[in-house]
Amino acid sequence: MKIVEADVIVTCPGRNYVTLKLTTDDGIVGYGDATLNGRELAVSAYLTEHVVPLLIGRDANRINDTWQYLYRGAYWRRGPVTMTAIGAVDIALWDIQGKALGRPVYQLLGGAARDGVMIYGHASGATIDETVADAARFLEAGYLAVRVQAKIPGLDATYGIRTGSGLTYEPAVGDLPAEEVWDTAAYLDFAPRLVAATRDQLGFGFHLLHDAHHRLTPLEAGRLGKSLEPYRMFWLEDATPAEDQAAFRLIRQHTVTPLAVGEVFNSIWDCQALIGERLIDYIRTAVPHAGGITHCRRIFDYADLYGVRSGSHGPGDVSPIGIAAALHLDLSIPNFGIQEYMDHLEPASEVFTPSYHYADGLLHLTDAPGLGVAFDESAARRYPYQRRYLPVNRLRDGSMHDW
């Protein structure tokens, strides 16, 4: 079963997505998600210029060898662009393998280890009351876990807030990056009140999450974690800039609030110390951004040794193909924790038709062969790429800060 064609399709149905389409000599088509929010064309060019020529004529059955070839064969390896490109190839090859055998990918990974995949809803609002009411709506819809984010008083914009009536949001805007102002003191005063109000009004009968989006120092994170302890969080996410693994030693000394990190990681090496020293509780690598199913499975297996569970990144900037890849892995691994999931903005449903579906707080996979996501190329072509940037952050004095 040889790969005879490889196409990269960039489309913007509501937001940008990059899809890799691989076709074999027996006519099987597999899809991989190559979307990297705000850097879409870098991955597209990496694939087209440097990876596609290596794929034509390769045996589509040799998923492990292809992964090693693309990783070890790249002297300049790792990084989000390279690892997303490798991830897309890997995901597409698992899709092909499943379709060739007529089985869903999770079956090739050893079969389901649970009935469905627990996801969390993204509650948000302009005030604490609005956010709590939003969280209540998720609970009414059967969600078992909810993340709460609210606008910080005194700041014009806060990350993680939806606008409009849908259940999703897209932080990237057009043309040039939006500039937001950040104030850590205001945040540290506000976040515990948001969490306290959520527990006071909605109780303890669900998992509660919050994302600090990489903005604190280790001591600030320790203080926040300690102040959240009475509310028994499921996790506090991305407390400090993720590249500094040693920072977590300090946070850990000060709080027993569970910690999650890793949405910006691309390889097992990025989380080697964090997992090996038991400095975190959930590893959030995104399947498309961290080398696909093959590599994320290794990360989760390694994490299992140290009691760390999975919590894969899955915002709207992961396409339904990337989400499906994550779900097949989630369903099969022993140490699954939770999966992030957001609805996709319309008109994405004209382009992607996933077979996974929501019921009772879980996403369920069917026994559709491969990943089970249909991709409509002509619909994709109706929505051409648009350049978009994630916002940037400045402190009140104009200094750049992590967004």
CB of 263 to ligand GCO, least distance (A): 6
Would you state the structure tokens that stand for residue 317, as one six-digit string?
A: 């900037």
Residue 322 binds ligand GCO, judged by CB under 6 A: no
As measured in angstroms, the least distance from the Cβ of 75 to ligand GCO is: 28
Q: How far is the CB of 116 from ligand GCO (least distance, A)?
A: 21
149 vs 255, which CB is nearer to Mg ion? Answer: 149
By CB under 6 A, residue 317 contacts ligand GCO? yes
Q: Write down the catalytic residue from 207, 213, 214, 344.
A: 213
Note whether 340 binds Mg ion by CB under 5 A: no
> Binding to ligand GCO by residue 40, rule CB under 6 A?
no
Is 213 catalytic? The answer is yes
* For ligand GCO, the closer CB: 63 or 321: 321
Of residues 194 through 213, those in contact with Mg ion by CB under 5 A are: 211
Residue 151 binding ligand GCO, by CB under 6 A: no
Is 364 annotated as catalytic?
no
Among 13, 171, 262, 337, binds ligand GCO (CB under 6 A): 171
- Whichever of 211 and 281 has its CB closer to Mg ion, that residue is 211
Q: Which of ligand GCO, Mg ion, none sits in contact with 340, Cβ below 5 to 8 A by type? A: ligand GCO
Q: Which of 13, 315, 354, 370 binds ligand GCO (CB under 6 A)?
A: 315
Cβ 272 to ligand GCO shortest distance, Å: 22
Cβ proximity to ligand GCO, 171 vs 372, nearer residue: 171
Contacts to ligand GCO from residues 256-295, by CB under 6 A: 263
- Catalytic, out of 159, 187, 231, 383: 159
Binding of ligand GCO at residue 97 (CB under 6 A)? no
Positions marked catalytic? 159, 213
Binding site for ligand GCO (CB under 6 A): 37, 171, 211, 213, 263, 315, 317, 340, 390
